[in-house]
Every structure is written in C-alpha cells, then in structure tokens.
Amino acid sequence: MYSALMSSCFCRTCLIQMAMKTPLRSGTVNLFRANRLRGDIRALDVDATEGIDAVPLDNQLSHWQASIIGPTGSPYEGGKFFLYIIIPYS
C-alpha cells in the first residue's frame, strides 16, 4: 500500500509534469546516450540493489526519480530519500 501511495504522490506527479514540459530535441538522436540509458534501466531491473530505486519519467530519459532508503545502523535509518535527476543530452 505504501508503494502505491508513493507512486501516486503529488511530488511524482509534479516531476512528470516538469519532464513533459521539456522541449523535444529535434535533429540528430544521440544513439550512444539512448543505448547507455536503456542499459542502465535494464541493469536496475536485473541487478537491483536493496534500498535503491530509479525510474525514468520521460521518453527522452532525461528526467529520473530515484529513492534511497537510509542504511541500517546509520542516523538515516528508516528514512526514504528522494532524488530528482536530470541527465543532460550531451
């Protein structure tokens, strides 16, 4: 239930809206970048690290939302920390 709540939270909705406002790049597609980021997405699915999650928010793979769970035994234990990552086109 917590995961469903986090997926529909206001912050994620705002991030997706910001990502959708990013103008599409016309012209040459950076195939190396696209292939690398698709590989990163597959790696996140296959070799998932416990407590770390990241998902792209747009088709250009420029905007991502990630979360990290605070490690056990640290002052951050029990916390869930969100990151908004912008990957430049170049």
pLDDT tens, position by position, 17-36: 766 666 655 555 678 888 89
Q: Render the burial of 8-19: b for 16+ CB within 10 Å, e for the rest.
A: eeeebeebeeeb
31 part of a folded domain: no
Tokens of 29: 């597609």
45 part of a folded domain: no
Q: Which domain holds residue 59?
A: 1-21+50-90
Q: 57 and 16 in contact (C-beta within 8 Å)? A: yes
34 part of a folded domain: no
Return the higher-pLDDT residue of 77 and 8.
77
Residue 61: which CATH number?
A: 3.10.110.10
Return the higher-pLDDT residue of 3 and 84.
84
Instruction: Enter the pTM of the model.
Output: 0.65
29 part of a folded domain: no
Q: Per the structure, how many domains does the chain have?
A: 1
37 part of a folded domain: no
1: confidence class by pLDDT, cuts 50, 70, 90: very low
38 part of a folded domain: no
56 part of a folded domain: yes
Residue range 31-90, pLDDT digits in tens: 888 889 999 889 888 887 888 888 888 888 888 888 899 989 999 998 988 888 888 887
